[in-house]
Structure 1
Amino acid sequence: MNVWKCVGGSATPGPCAAGATDDLVGRAPESARLERLLTEHRLVTVTGRAGVGKSRLAATVGARGPWRQIVHVHGQGDCSGAPGALAKAVRRALTGQHPRSDFADLVRELPATGVLLFLDDVDPVQRTAMGLVQRLLAAVPGLRVLVTSRQALGLGEERVLRLLPLTAGPGVELFLRRARAAVDGFRAEGADLRAVERICRSLEGVPLALELAAEQLAFQQVHDLAAVLEVHQCWLHGEGPALRRHRSLRATVGASYALCEREARIVWGRASVFTGAFNESTASFLCGGGGVAPQRVPSLLARLAAINVLEPVRDPGGLRPPRYRMTRAARDFGAERLRAAGECETALERRATHSRQIADTARHLWAAGLQRQAVALVHEEREELTAVLNQAVHRPDQSVTALETVVGLWFWWVVYGHAEEGRDYLLRLLPLCPADSPVGVRGRWLAAWLTAGRDPQAARALLGRSWPQAVLAGDDTAVGHIAHVQGLIALHENDPRGAAEHFAESARTVPSRPEYGPSPAVSLAAQAVAQAAFAPSAARRTARRALARPDVRDDDWATLLARYATAYVDHRQGRDARALHRARRTLAALDGTPALPHGHEALRALIADIEAGVPGRPHLPQLPRPRTASARAFPAEMGSTVVTS
């Protein structure tokens, strides 16, 4: 244990003085709050993740206080096995001698007032510090104690200041200051400034990491540095910091790793495969086994969150299950440990399997009429699902699992405005999977749907590969869904009669509440829209049939389509006032439902047509169009047969 003594509000030369710099970029609010806490309370602890600047802030603010004497003790190494070691260190810092660890002598030597005991970085001696601080506060009423640690001591009268990483502006400012110190004349404008902002985002605003990264500009260009840090960052190092563990980001994070028990280290490594937020059940599935009981995982996650390796995404004490996100540096460090343990492939396979299970759960929720819950689940897990799918397109061994995930999320791509993203995944995954498999048939059907808006011929080719296989397999759901997409293509090509026939076939063939894809009510509503162009009365009856189906009550999408169809028929028959009323009422009803972008667009387009006094044209809210015309086309070898049903 290394100790330093600071007397009379100023530090003697050494690491204490080096840490107590006034260069606290972006820390004015935290500095003022810490100063206020020290004035009003006897015990204050500054917590936060490794490298966030706890010691620097505490030393600077402590030195500004009205103390006659500051006793600064810095803990390094594990002293828990040496009874009285921390008390001896405090006494040595107080007297400059090497006394025995007698607590009574320490109490007698401490002045009654005007003393700040600064216990810096007490994580290695956490339990000892808790006991000593509690006894000292009871024995010396005028004593003030300032502690820095990755986690709070947990004492009743303790006040905690959790120090967060720097936000974007202060982070960039700190990086630029250090960069100018490392490279004379360094300036960042335009593209260089954007590269600096990328660096700050990758490093998540951690001051130590920003300073170490800025030093690297003496050896590489800022754009190259930004690209490297987006892949990995634990390699960052420098010779400036006085503490050895601050000379590299790996050593800084490794200090937290060293404090963890074996099970927590295993969970840390396995959980590092998560890119986004995850919940306890997901972590238990992925991290359990191999020396860690699954039921132990939630408590180990809480332990990692306590030392700021994990960050709670929502309140762990709330009504909903807790979710966590691993800090970027901790994730890179954990990935290194996972590879060293030879468990990386297993963890990635479990992660892909779990993503498919999420997609299956969302698909079943949608089919069961719980569409809002399905959308909420996908939205919550979207970041992780995206990371898994982006990885799977480069791993042929995971292609089938990834394709099942994409198909399971069909409604996310079709209904919620993510057609281009889903189409891109299918474009990459379908050539890697068996063409005659059930998931291959469904994948080509979904790809045809997502392609129909911009390339009807390519959509027909995709359906041509799926239709014979669906017929031979006796898959009525697939046959009906293929007919539905044929109707979309016909409607897009201004063939309302052909579209109506295809939609009618789909409504007859698809069973009620299918496992995937649109329900018969959706096809009936689309049929009504098509019929409105040539048979308005029949269209009105078809829309009413759609709204009368028992399963439509839980199907927000089908209800929207049917109500749009009714309003559109009113408009086609010259009943504009009624059409406006229906369209506006439907839009108002959508406010309480998950966003249905195509539905909103179709209703607003209909209202605009009516208000402009122009003849209405169908804006079917289920025909997604890619955002850009530069999207890649499907390879010709993926299908060339034209469906003739």
Structure 2
Amino acid sequence: LTPVIGRDPVVGSLVRQLPVRRFMTLVGPAGIGKTTVALRVAELLLQHYRDGVWFVDLASIDDPAQLVEHVRHSLELDAGLEALATRHALLVLDNCEHLLERCQTVVEQLLASAPRLSILATSREPLQAAGETVHGLAALSVPPASSLHSVAEVMSHSAVQLFVSCARARQQGFALREQDLRAVREICRRLDGLPLAIELATAQIDALALVGLQAQLDNCFQLLTQGRRTAVARHQTLKSALDWSYQRLSPLEQTLLQRLAVFDMAFTVQAAIDVISCAVLRPECVAEVMAQLARKSLLAVEQGQGTAHYRFLDTTRAYALQKLEHSGQLRVFERRHAHAIGKARWLSVRHLSLQLIEQFPDAG
């Protein structure tokens, strides 16, 4: 039911590669549109697979021991999964992240025993199974500030295309005007170009109008609560989508995610250690847990000049900040962050001063 906008390149790539590579995993954070893309790929490949394309939503089970029976029931198999040995089919396994080890085992067994079977998985982290090709799903394109003089240029970006499409479905006659460009860009940017967040925001355009939507962005989890009643529970609000990820983290990962939310810009491992390490989160384990959060699509990693920088999506950071505030520790780590930033600036100024003294020793 969700419009498939801005996904033609990735859909085309998956359609071409799946029959050859046989096992591909779509990876990305909550609300990025993994299920929507997988369903579109499945639709386009219906005619390719003689025995059909089968969709299995794994979100409805929590016990890894139920996985095989759930797949068997979804595929309407009278016997066990060995019945797939001769099938020429595509199996779409949606939401694998909470059953990773069992999914890995079952997928490897299926690929070995059913040579004409292809599998497309969606997950917030790779399954790390043999033969897996991982395809990271990026956010929709948000226009730069420099494009705001032209409706046509802003409309060339997929986040705005989705916004306008959803707004028209809610408000008959909606049209993007030049005076609306700044507000629409800001809404799409603050929502990280996440399709789910954009869809939920436009659901309230009748009640709030563009100016009202923009004004509510600082309280995005109250704004993003009017989803489709027919959607699965984790897609009815953005908070429920993030809850799905957060509840499946270890206590250590939850603690780290909360504390890292005091960073409002990209940060290094060393900066994180300086601010959040303690007796529970020892310096030597901070880097490891940060890498785990990145694998689970809760942190983004940027490589530059030999140093990895981590950053949050704005929506994920807002969620983690709420959790930190509810823990009663927000002010503590805000002070530690401010102290670390001040120290870093002082060291930077001191380093610059020493360089100037070396270059101009007689300057007084």
TM-score, with normalisation over the residues of structure 1?
Answer: 0.51
Equivalent residue letter for 1:313: E
Q: How big is the alpha-carbon RMSD for the aligned residues of Structure 1 and Structure 2?
A: 2.0
Give, in whole Å, the separation in 1 of the partners of 2:172 and 2:77.
42
Aligned to 1:90: 71
Question: Per chain length, whose mean CA-contact separation is higher, i.e. which structure has more relative contact order (CA < 8 Å, sep 6+)?
Answer: 2
Q: Pick one of 81, 93, 98 that aligns with 1:124.
A: 98
Output aligned runs, 1:456-471, within 5 Å.
Answer: none
Give, in whole Å, the separation in 2 of the partners of 1:142 and 1:77.
27
Structure 1 residue 261, shift from structure 2 partner? 0.4
Larger Rg: 1
Give, in whole Å, the separation in 1 of the partners of 2:160 and 2:237.
20
Q: Pick one of 189, 199, 207 that aligns with 1:201.
A: 189
Aligned to 1:115: 89
Output aligned runs, 1:427-576, within 5 Å.
Answer: 521-522=362-363
Structure 1 residue 59, shift from structure 2 partner? 1.0
Equivalent residue letter for 1:88: E
Equivalent residue letter for 2:29: R
SS of aligned partner of 2:193 = coil
Aligned to 1:347: 333
Q: Pick one of 219, 225, 241 that aligns with 1:232.
A: 219
Q: Pick one of 328, 352, 356 that aligns with 1:366.
A: 352
Aligned to 2:5: 25
Give, in whole Å, the separation in 2 of the partners of 1:321 and 1:194.
34
Aligned to 2:55: 72
**Identical positions, percent:** 28
Equivalent residue letter for 2:207: F
Q: Give 4+ residue runs of structure 1 displaced > 4 Å after superposition.
A: 518-523
Aligned to 1:281: 270
Equivalent residue letter for 1:214: T
Aligned to 2:149: none
Equivalent residue letter for 1:265: Q
Aligned to 1:47: 27
1:242-270 C-alpha deviation (Å, 9 max, x unpaired):
11111111111111111110011011011
In the alignment, is residue 332 of structure 1 matched against residue 318 of structure 2?
yes
Structure 1 residue 519, shift from structure 2 partner? 5.9
TM-score, with normalisation over the residues of structure 2?
Answer: 0.89
SS of aligned partner of 2:311 = strand
Q: How many residues align?
A: 345
Aligned to 1:292: 281
Give, in whole Å, the separation in 2 of the partners of 1:249 and 1:120.
18
On the 8 A contact 1:273/1:348 being kept in 2, the answer is: yes
Aligned to 2:199: 211
Q: Pick one of 176, 182, 187 that aligns with 1:188.
A: 176
Equivalent residue letter for 1:234: F
SS of aligned partner of 2:116 = coil
Task: List gaps (5 residues or longer) in structure 1.
Answer: 1-17, 100-104, 372-511, 524-645
Equivalent residue letter for 1:239: G
- The 3 A distance-change label for structure 1 pair 522 and 255 is farther
Structure 1 residue 115, shift from structure 2 partner? 1.1
- The 3 A distance-change label for structure 1 pair 147 and 334 is same
In the alignment, is residue 165 of structure 1 matched against residue 153 of structure 2?
no
1:453-507 C-alpha deviation (Å, 9 max, x unpaired):
xxxxxxxxxxxxxxxxxxxxxxxxxxxxxxxxxxxxxxxxxxxxxxxxxxxxxxx
On the 8 A contact 2:190/2:315 being kept in 1, the answer is: no
Aligned to 2:231: 242
1:368-396 C-alpha deviation (Å, 9 max, x unpaired):
32x7xxxxxxxxxxxxxxxxxxxxxxxxx
Task: List gaps (5 residues or longer) in structure 2.
Answer: 143-156
1:333-365 C-alpha deviation (Å, 9 max, x unpaired):
000000000011111101111111111221222
On the 8 A contact 2:52/2:89 being kept in 1, the answer is: yes
1:301-324 C-alpha deviation (Å, 9 max, x unpaired):
101111111100217xxx723210
Structure 1 residue 96, shift from structure 2 partner? 6.0
Equivalent residue letter for 1:115: A
In the alignment, is residue 34 of structure 1 matched against residue 14 of structure 2?
yes
Give, in whole Å, the separation in 2 of the partners of 1:77 and 1:145.
19
Aligned to 1:407: none
Structure 1 residue 69, shift from structure 2 partner? 1.8
Give, in whole Å, the separation in 2 of the partners of 1:519 and 1:266.
48
- The 3 A distance-change label for structure 1 pair 290 and 209 is farther
